[in-house]
Amino acid sequence: MPTISPVRLAQDLIRCPSVTPVEGGALALLERLLGEAGFATHRLKFSAPETHDVDNLYARFGTGSPYLLFAGHTDVVPPGDVVRWRYDPFAGVIEDGVLHGRGAADMKGGVAAMVAAALAFLAERPNFTGSIGFLITGDEEGPAANGTVKVLEWAKARGERFDHCILAEPTNPKALGDMMKIGRRGSLTGRLSVAGTQGHVAYPDLADNPIPRLMQLMAALTATPLDGGTAHFAPSNLEFTSVDVGNAATNVIPPEARAVFNIRFNDLWTPESLRAEIERRLAGAAGGARYTLAFDPTNATAFLTEPAPFVEQLSRAIAAETGRVPALSTTGGTSDARFIKDHCPVVEFGLVGQTMHQVDECVAVADIERLTAIFARFLDDYFAAG
């Protein structure tokens, strides 16, 4: 079985211009490498109304248990103005021990590390009896409608059952080994609209200004904290992201006022219970306001992977290779872990994310090599225990 350099693979992946939803050759590269190593590979293309077609890759080595799944994505956000980059964002340049390029941190470097670690592990074990798999999507940075969630549905329909999953997102704030994500907060977006009666500002008795009523309702949503947090989660927070009346005139009372808010919530809530709480607060403060409330259909549910042997094994591997015991965190935004958690326990650990989505995204070459060593050590421990 071939072994590969994780740094060279990261360079090759960066050189594939796989800006969502374009595959760019990245999945084809991984499919070839994994196929040559004996993995059964499946290229899966999915589509949905009003979305782009998206390529994904699923690969599995072995048929036994336990089954460890590695997950990630090869799609990247656009580079923006390439003139502002020090190097071509798709050239994969290494200088002074640093790999530069779009996706270096998020997350082609992480994908390269997990693939290289798995191939090295399997090369040393011709009689391996467990299973190692890869779920690599091209739709994480986009709508996430035709990627991981659909591959998981496809795999479940085939009878695939995973024991655990590592998602190699860039989880570390400053140094490799700082942080492992054992859960994520949920996300709920609401849209509040208050109706009024348009009129001249000089004749307010002939109009009904919706703006003070909207402000009253907004205050009701934020006056009392949603909760005080839990052992592994910070307090839930509601933030208004837009307030608008669509009114360019200074002498007209508008007919409508609108606000958009997003709530990042912990495991004290479900989307259903949180919707009910928002509706209760608005009803109690409405007075005579004529308002409507709608919630976006695509949201995320909070989840937690309990600290247990799986988490402890990865934490030990991280500490052994970096000298740091990672903090067990649930911070940050959403990730594809929100889909995976419905199929098996999942944790996230990858590279340092300080430059992700930025101009001159980069990652230390030594960190890619060390992350590969962490995954290799974990594989030894995981399958020895299994």
Q: What is the CATH number of the domain that holds 94?
A: 3.40.630.10
The predicted structure's pLDDT at residue 385: 62
Residue 297 has what pLDDT? 87
Spatial distance between the Cα atoms of 256 and 232, rounded to a whole number of angstroms: 41
Confidence band (pLDDT; 50, 70, 90) for 48? confident
Domain range for 202: 186-295
Task: Return the closest-CA partner of residue 378 out of 275, 323, 309.
Answer: 309
| pLDDT score of 1 | 61
Among 295, 326, 341, the domain boundary falls at 295
Residue 57 is predicted with a pLDDT of 98
Tell me which H or E stretch contains 383.
helix 365-385
Res 272: pLDDT: 95
Domain annotation covers residue 55 = yes
Q: Is the pLDDT of residue 19 over 60?
A: yes
Q: How far, in Å, CA of 31 to CA of 43, rounded?
A: 8
Alpha-carbon gap, residue 87 to 70, rounded angstroms: 30
Q: Is the model's pLDDT at 386 over the cut of 70?
A: no
Task: Give the DSSP letter string of 341-382.
Answer: TTTS-EEE--SB-TTTTSTT-EEEHHHHHHHHHHHHHHHHHH
Distance in angstroms (rounded) separating the CA atoms of residues 141 and 54:
12
Which pair of tokens denotes residue 39?
Answer: 């993995």
Q: What pLDDT, on the 0 to 100 scale, is given for residue 333?
A: 86
CATH code, domain with 288:
3.30.70.360
Residue 81 forms part of a structural domain: yes
What are the residue numbers of the active site?
75, 140
Q: How far apart are CA 66 and CA 382, in angstroms?
A: 9
pLDDT digits (tens, 9 = 90+) for 104-119: 999 999 999 999 999 9
- Residue 181 and residue 297 in contact, taking contact as beta carbons nearer than 8 Å: no
What pTM value is reported for the model? 0.91
On whether both 256 and 334 belong to a single domain, the answer is: no
Confidence of residue 143 (pLDDT cuts 50, 70, 90): confident
User: Which among 375, 352, 367, 383 has a CA at the least distance from the CA of 106?
Assistant: 352
- Encode pLDDT of 248-297 as tens digits: 999 999 999 999 999 999 999 999 999 999 999 999 999 999 999 999 98
Q: Which two tokens stand for residue 363?
A: 């990652």
Residues 112-133 have a mean pLDDT of: 97
Q: Residue 2 pLDDT more than 70?
A: no
pLDDT, tens only, 209-258: 999 999 999 999 999 999 999 999 999 999 999 999 999 999 999 999 99
Task: With respect to residue 1, please indicate whether it lies within any of the assigned structural domains.
Answer: no
| Predicted local confidence at residue 107, as pLDDT | 97
Closest by CA position to 58, among listed 121, 130, 164, 147:
147
Q: Verify that 357 and 224 share a domain, yes or no.
A: no
Q: Are 349 and 318 in contact (CB under 8 A)?
A: yes
17 shares its domain with 70: yes
Interhelix angle for 109-123 vs 6-14, to 10°?
A: 140
Query: Which residues, listed in sequence order, are joined to residue 260 by a DSSP beta bridge?
Result: 191, 242
